[in-house]
Structure 1
């Protein structure tokens, strides 16, 4: 693949950074359109999105450094070179969740209604960002000999070169696109966007992503950390925990909505 899109003098445009930026801009555009449709001020969504961007980048990089500390022991300044790749979605998600929670509390915004607006845009933005992973060679898969296996030949690629690998980046792209479509279809099953209990779309996203991520982790070839007697990777354990908690929240919020209706 092509980790570096082009280089002019001292200016280098990394493909990974480009697609992360495109993913963010796409997610912001979709979120603003959804906010207008639901009577939420787009300016609030924009402010929240930029806060989420900053906090998610910090969290995603922090978790990556913790899980792969040996990569940075020789040069600590490499920690700050996020354009080279190396982000953990879970870390970014947790940091973004905390910062978003503080934001909506201070602005007196309905938490779950706002979360429902943001969930599909996050899914589509994540899918686009994962294209950057494919070009950079990060988040690569295990060696396999399936017809759809991919090989990396670029000397700057983060993946092992000249060997067929599971295209786990493509698995992630497709899973996020499918999740995006499912969430949109869930909304369209109702005649009005505000029908149904608030939080349904958001927690459905968390459930679907947690399940998809834990499945994809099975095929990852980079070091994932060990957990639970080496049966699960750290990311698999987090994905399963997220899915279970999301299932609980869906049950809790739906029951709460039914009782409120009575």
Structure 2
């Protein structure tokens, strides 16, 4: 019976030779929703109305490039022997942490040029970013990627998952752990947490660092279940980076607090 299960069609729309994939639609949809939320909240916090539209125009392409550079760097033994494949993003191979690093660097430069407070811009964007990540993981679901190791249909059904998820986890006759779903749920929970925290009126920068800590904690565990991770010694690259980011986030918040610096609060306009 399992062999007769067909995966969901990755192609949402075909216009002659042009294929529009669900992956792209889902990623774009998550980014658009996040942008709208950031624009709305940014207006409340007194930021110029075009801040996030202009920022995403620079950050989006740079994020894709940096995500590819990150992946290629840690797979250099292969790409050094196949240099023509370096630009072949359509064959897979982009890393979310690379995208985030590129986006943050872009935002820092953008804020310097526009004379905007980076931490304020980052705080407003934090819930939007994690929401976009939560939605974007469903693009991985449609592509049957970013999954964990082999499992059984019975194990998946014991999690009370709907059939369309269970069926999509059947890849080449083998069922796999839906780690995309774990991360999506973790990110949605983080989105709700950040919405609550911003009403607590944290000090500037602490909301964004809370996002960094929350996402990294979840990713450090979920990454250990995946089968497509980049490795660095005994741990996956993303796990090493997650640990570093948690230490950095917690450390910087403690430093600010112990220093008793009079930093503006989130709700200050």
- Normalising by the smaller structure, the TM-score range is 0.7 to 0.9
Matched residues, number: 246
Query: In the alignment, does 2:191 pair up with 1:180?
Result: yes
Deviation string 1:128-158 (CA, Å, 9 cap, x unpaired) is 11110110122121112323484548xxxxx
Query: In the alignment, does 2:216 pair up with 1:219?
Result: no
Deviation string 1:140-184 (CA, Å, 9 cap, x unpaired) is 21112323484548xxxxx94221111011111111101100001
**TM-score (norm: length of structure 1):** 0.85
Query: In the alignment, does 2:151 pair up with 1:144?
Result: yes
Deviation string 1:186-209 (CA, Å, 9 cap, x unpaired) is 1123xxxxx431001000000011
How do 1:99-114 and structure 2 match up within 5 A? Answer: 99-114=106-121
Residues 66 and 161 of structure 1, relative CA distance in 2, 3 Å threshold: farther
**Alignment partners' CA distance in 1, 2:79 and 2:23:** 19
Residues 208 and 215 of structure 1, relative CA distance in 2, 3 Å threshold: same
The answer (yes or no) to whether the contact 1:3–1:137 under 8 Å persists in 2 is no
Of the candidates 218, 239, 250, which is equivalent to residue 236 of structure 1?
A: 239
Q: Secondary structure at the match of 1:221?
A: coil
Of the candidates 36, 40, 54, which is equivalent to residue 47 of structure 1?
A: 54
Query: In the alignment, does 2:251 pair up with 1:251?
Result: no
**Alignment partners' CA distance in 2, 1:49 and 1:78:** 25
| Structure 1 gaps, min length 5 | 154-158, 190-194
Residues 72 and 152 of structure 1, relative CA distance in 2, 3 Å threshold: farther
Q: Secondary structure at the match of 1:12?
A: strand
Aligned to 1:192: none
Deviation string 1:51-96 (CA, Å, 9 cap, x unpaired) is 22121111112223334564896683673444x6532110011111
The answer (yes or no) to whether the contact 1:65–1:79 under 8 Å persists in 2 is no
Of the candidates 84, 93, 114, which is equivalent to residue 76 of structure 1?
A: 84
**Alignment partners' CA distance in 2, 1:78 and 1:152:** 29
Moved more, 32-41 or 63-72: 63-72
Residues 86 and 66 of structure 1, relative CA distance in 2, 3 Å threshold: same
Residues 151 and 60 of structure 1, relative CA distance in 2, 3 Å threshold: farther
Of the candidates 30, 33, 47, which is equivalent to residue 40 of structure 2?
A: 33
Of the candidates 106, 110, 122, which is equivalent to residue 115 of structure 1?
A: 122
**TM-score (norm: length of structure 2):** 0.83
Give the RMSD, CA atoms, in angstroms: 2.4
**Alignment partners' CA distance in 1, 2:210 and 2:118:** 15
| Structure 2 gaps, min length 5 | 1-7, 264-269
